Chain A
Amino acid sequence: MEITRLPLSRLEPNKGQIEGLPQNPRTWTQTDIDKLAASLIETPELFEARPIIVVPTSNESNKYVILGGNLRYAASKKNDARNVPCYVLPLNTPIEKMKEIVLKDNSSFGDWNEMLLAEDWKDINFEQLNIYFSDKNFDTSKEIDPNEFSQDITLRLKFHEPYGSILKAVMGEDPKQSLLQALSYETK
């Protein structure tokens, strides 16, 4: 789809002004706006690759409602951007499609591989991007110094079904023994 550059004054956040389309179900803080504003300045290329998705309010008006990118709109305002890259959807886009776009543009599948993040992506300012690591005790990316760390460590594993139930059955009453055996751990 072709990118259209639109002045911010012609964009409107999705407040529920389109009949049948509920308002944007995302929420953010001023800190989020500040972080994204800085991020947009740092990596403008990504904004060009991921334009704001808008739909015209009506045939006559020259205003557009934001389906995807309400927070980027707020951050661009903070940056005093004159215009922003947009994809303009046709006025006759079905409401059901608009709903899918609003929600799915904000959702994601999969997880961070924290081991790789910690090892290979050290230069990234994770906090700036609201990327937080889970409890360090469970972080399998780091070797633990047994001299410093004398207590036992709980490895907490979350499995989707049906894997979880199958594994519980296969690993039996002593999952630790089962796992160590499967990995042929030799007790010293």
Chain B
Amino acid sequence: MKQNDIKLALIDANEGQIEGLPQNPRTWTIRELAKLKASISETPELLTLRPIIVIKHKGRYVAIAGNMRLAAIKEMGWQSVNCIIMPSSTPLPTLRNMVIKDNSRLGSWDEDLLKNEWDDIPYSDWGIDVAEPEPEVPPGDGSATPINDTVTIEIILTPDEFNFVSTALRKIAPSPEDAIIKLYDL
């Protein structure tokens, strides 16, 4: 496995351009991407410790792992990034496993430890999927409303409508939420 600085202009997201390797099955929102950008600015070292993994393809490079980080640093104006370059001889099943496994995680957060010993951590800004601590309400102010990060919209559809909607949304974007955001021009 080689490791090298590669110009970002030469690295493409995995859009399924390698025969036998499906496109990256991850999705993200603009807001999450903004959080990742802030996190990378704070801890750029992590990109050296956990580099984007690429493989050469038709004179360019395709990102096997780190597609979201690639999108983030492209937006941040980086010119190049240190990457792990997989040998061209890497078998497809290995590449497929790497795509999924680099994004999966066994074990879970010990929320008690996080809360008691790792205080002052902005969980959601760091991509830590646990409930944020309740914001402290100043004494005497009972009117404070909790801050909610997400809004749920429920749409009840007949099976026919559901099939129509899911097919139509999939043509716009991989996740139904992103598709609707695009559909409504937000």
Contacts and interface: CB of A to CB of B under 8 A. Distances in A.
Nearest to B108: A27
A60 B177 CA distance: 54
Contacts of B152: 156-159, 164
B106 interface: yes
Majority secondary structure, A binding face: mixed
A144 B102 contact: no
Interface string B66-106: 00100000000000000010100010011011101111111
A157 B176 contact: yes
Contacts of A163: 29, 31, 151, 177, 181, 186
A92 interface: no
Contacts of A80: none
Interface string A109-151: 1111101110111011000011100000000110111100110
B153 A46 contact: no
B57 interface: no
B153 A107 contact: no
B39 A157 contact: no
A109 B148 contact: no
B155 A107 contact: no
A101 B45 contact: yes
Nearest to B28: A110
Given A26-B108, A32-B106, A124-B96, A160 B25 contact: no
A19 interface: no
A140 B97 CA distance: 24
Contacts of A28: 106-108
A116 B16 CA distance: 11
A164 B22 contact: no
A7 interface: no
Contacts of A48: 1
B155 A124 contact: no
Contact of B183 (A87, A108, A119, A182): A182
Interface string A30-61: 00100110010011011011100100000000
Contact of A110 (B27, B84, B117, B177): B27
Contacts of B90: 45
Given A115-B170, A161-B151, 9 more contacts: A25-B114, A25-B117, A27-B108, A43-B97, A108-B127, A112-B26, A115-B175, A131-B100, A179-B165
Question: Shortest 3 CB-CB distances between A and B: which pairs?
Answer: A164-B151, A120-B22, A28-B107
9 contacts: A46-B98, A103-B126, A112-B26, A143-B163, A152-B157, A152-B158, A156-B153, A161-B148, A161-B150
Interface of A: 1, 16, 22-23, 25-28, 32, 35-36, 39, 42-43, 45-46, 48-50, 53, 68, 71, 87, 97, 99-101, 103-113, 115-117, 119-121, 123-124, 129-131, 140-141, 143-146, 149-150, 152-161, 163-168, 170-171, 175-176, 179-180, 182-183, 185, 188
